[in-house]
Amino acid sequence: MPEPLLQVTGLSKHFGGHRGLVARLGGVPAPRLVAVDDVSFSIARGEIFSLVGESGSGKTTLGRTILRLVEPTSGHIVFDGTDITTLRPAQLRKARRQIQMIFQDPVSSLNPRLTVRQMLGEVLRVHAVRPASQVQARIAELLALVGLPADSIDRTPKHFSGGQRQRIGIARALAVEPRFIVADEPVSAVDVSVQSQIMNLLLDLRERLGLTLLFIAHDLSVVRYLSDRVGVMYLGRIVEVGSRDQLFSAPRHPYTRALLSAAPRPDPNHRATIAAITGEPPSPLNPPSGCHFHTRCPLATDLCRSVAPLPELVAPGHEVRCHHHDHAAVTA
């Protein structure tokens, strides 16, 4: 197997937990939130790896730690042989030319005061990606690359539709010629007809520019369309990871299966084959003991309530964190 482009090992991020002076004196324990909990995975060159999970499962936090926009609490992120977690600020800024991010909200992710020309021009100049004489030509090239009309160059974001803003965000990320892009729910806030445009654009860009993507989504059908491999997150942990086919045709974790059965399908004749899961996701401030999913799991036993399952390899490249994954396979 070739060396992966990105290798994440034992990554955790805890929020809170430090205490102010007063609380420390008073001995009040500060609430601590484990947003990302001992996560490991790797992404091969040219691959699209997706993270899927419900709100608050830690997808965004995980994505941001990879750019060190959020400082990880522990763990290592090795990008192309370099451990990002130990980089000093100056080196980090250089590394950020290799890794870029696309954001969910097409409205708030663009500075409302800058025109497209200023926005892209600034990126190109700061990183001296191109000599000054070629900046304008490169901006035009980027616009064409993401399918924006050339006459949009001197407009500010409010003159664009949601889908177009998302394209501007993508152009901005591409301006530094990164090799790796973290796309945090780039199609969640846009309409279906625009969603497919953006997804196709991402697929084409990968093909053309040889990009590698970490794609974050909560919509399983979007993930199925785009990804080569998929990780499913629940309350900060990756509970199942595998190739797209493994995950969608032979899911082994009860949570993955529940997600699949709950997703609404544009097919009036479709009938869910397994019972819907009951209950609500627990609070991340006070996650259940053992396996986090046991409060909603139809297979839960005493073992699940007390011992957190470790990742187990069930097929090449297919890992599951469930004590009962064999049983899950049988009842499928």
Partner 1 sequence: MADAVLPPVKPVLAPPRRRVRWRQHTNMLVGGGILVAILLASIFADHLTPYGPLEQNLRNTLQPPSWAHPFGTDNFGRDIFTRVLHAAKLDLMICFLCVFFPWVLGTALGAVAGYFGGLVETIVMRIVDTFSAFPFLVMAIGIIAILGPGITSMYIALTLAGWSMYARIVRAEVLVVRQSEYVLAARALGYGHVRIMFGHILPNVITPTIIFAMTDIVLVILSTVSLSFLGLGVQPPTAEWGIILNEAKGFLLIAWWMVTLPGIVIVIVGLALSLFGDGVAQWLRERA
Partner 2 sequence: MATVLGTAAGTVGTSAAPPILDVRSLTTTIPTARGTLTVVDDVSFAVAQGECFGLVGESGSGKSMTLRSILGLIPPPGRVASGEVRHAGRDLVRLSQRELNRIRGREIAMIVQDAVSALNPVYRIGRQIGEPMLEHRIVKGARSARARAVALMAKVGIPAPEKRVDDFPHQFSGGMCQRVVIATALACDPGLLLADEPTTALDVTIQDQILKLLVALQRDLGLSLLLVTHDMGVVAQTCQRVAVMYAGQIVELVRTDALFRQPRHPYTAGLLNCVPRLDGPAVRLKPIPGAPPDLAAPPSGCRFHPRCPLATEACRSQRPELVEVAPGHFSRCIRHHEMPPDLWKRLDA
- Residue numbers of the site for partner 1 (CB under 8 A)? 64, 67, 69, 92-94, 96-97, 99-101, 103-105, 108-113, 122-123, 126-127, 144-149, 151-152, 155-156, 158-161, 163-164, 169, 172, 176, 197, 200-201, 204, 207-208
Beta carbons within 8 Å of 104's beta carbon, 6+ residues apart: 60, 184, 185, 186, 188, 189
Compute φ and ψ for 253, nearest 5 degrees: -90, 135
Q: Which of 12, 50, 57, 60 binds Mg ion (CB under 5 A)?
A: 60
Report which of 50, 10, 61 is spatially closest to residue 256, judged by C-alpha positions: 50
130: three-class secondary structure by DSSP: coil
Given the complex with ligand ATP, which of 55 and 269 has the nearer CB atom? 55
Beta carbons within 8 Å of 67's beta carbon, 6+ residues apart: 96, 99, 100, 101, 182
Given the complex with partner 1, which of 172 and 294 has the nearer CB atom? 172
Produce one character per residue of 96-128: b if its CB has 16 or more CB atoms within 10 Å, e if not.
bebbbbbbbbbeebbeeeebbbebbbebbeeee
According to the binding rule CB under 5 A, does residue 256 interact with Mg ion? no
Report which of 44, 43, 34, 42 is spatially closest to residue 12, judged by C-alpha positions: 34
Pair of tokens at residue 238: 């990756």
Q: Which residue is nearest to Mg ion (CB)?
A: 60
In this structure, the strands spanning 48-53 and 212-217 are parallel
Given the complex with partner 1, which of 101 and 238 has the nearer CB atom? 101
Given the complex with partner 2, which of 265 and 305 has the nearer CB atom? 265
Q: Which of 8, 43, 168, 260 binds partner 2 (CB under 8 A)?
A: 260
According to the binding rule CB under 8 A, does residue 104 interact with partner 2? no
Q: Which of 163, 178, 231, 309 binds partner 2 (CB under 8 A)?
A: 163
Least CB distance to partner 1 at residue 247 (A): 27
CA distance 279 to 295: 8
Footprint on this chain of partner 2 (rule: CB under 8 A): 54-55, 161-164, 191-197, 199-200, 203, 218-222, 224-225, 248, 258-270, 276-278, 280-281
Footprint on this chain of ligand ATP (rule: CB under 6 A): 15, 33, 35, 53, 55-61, 218, 284
